[in-house]
Structure 1
Amino acid sequence: MFFIGIFGIETKQEEIKDIQNVICKACGAMTSFRLIKTYNVFHFFFIPIIKWSKKYYIISRCCNRPFEIPIEKGEEIERGRDIPLNDEDLRPLYNNYDYNICPNCKNEVDNNFIYCPYCGNKLR
């Protein structure tokens, strides 16, 4: 948050809704996603005047991986339309796939491991 006297610029985040029965692109589990909208706002005495830089993200409930989705699809889902999300729509925020998420204990495990060092579950 940035203030200049009675003016300010702030980044806001809103949880819009849950999206059910989607296969996670990161770990392959059937899960639900939380749709999150972020935007910047210029306010005067905490009254929003101008909003800009709107982005939509979904966060998987199975492994907590965030993905950015196109603004058009995010707006349609926010309006209540049931739009399918394809793998091409999900842009991972972390491009480092040198690790897996254990489906049993949800810990991050290096790709070189065959078994999870935390719980012993087979990863491949």
Structure 2
Amino acid sequence: MFFFFVGGLEQQARQVLKSGAGRCIACGSRADLVGYEKVLKLFFVPVWRWPGKEPVMYCNDCKLFFPQSLTPPPSSTAEVPDVLRCQFCRREVDGDFRFCPFCGNAL
């Protein structure tokens, strides 16, 4: 006699508590602070749901859930000056760039 189990346990974002609360630890894009729930699925049908213990960070781009304690602080445009100076070629670069357009190094 054979028995095949087709199912699994996954996490789903239930409610966004704070949008853009930090950055993703995997891809670096914006991550939201969310309340989540765990879902048991059998044959791809949700059977049982229960809430998570505490809020977690959720990245909409790579769909990663991770603890709030691991997130770097959110990047703000107020910290970036209008004109930067590349530390390698010493040329002035606009503050919107993340890489130097002259030498290609990260700013």
Asked which structure has the greater CA Rg, the reply is: 2
Report if TM-score (shorter chain) is over 0.5: no
TM-score, length of structure 2 as denominator length: 0.33
TM-score, length of structure 1 as denominator length: 0.30
Structure scoring higher RCO (CA < 8 A, sep ≥ 6) equals: 2
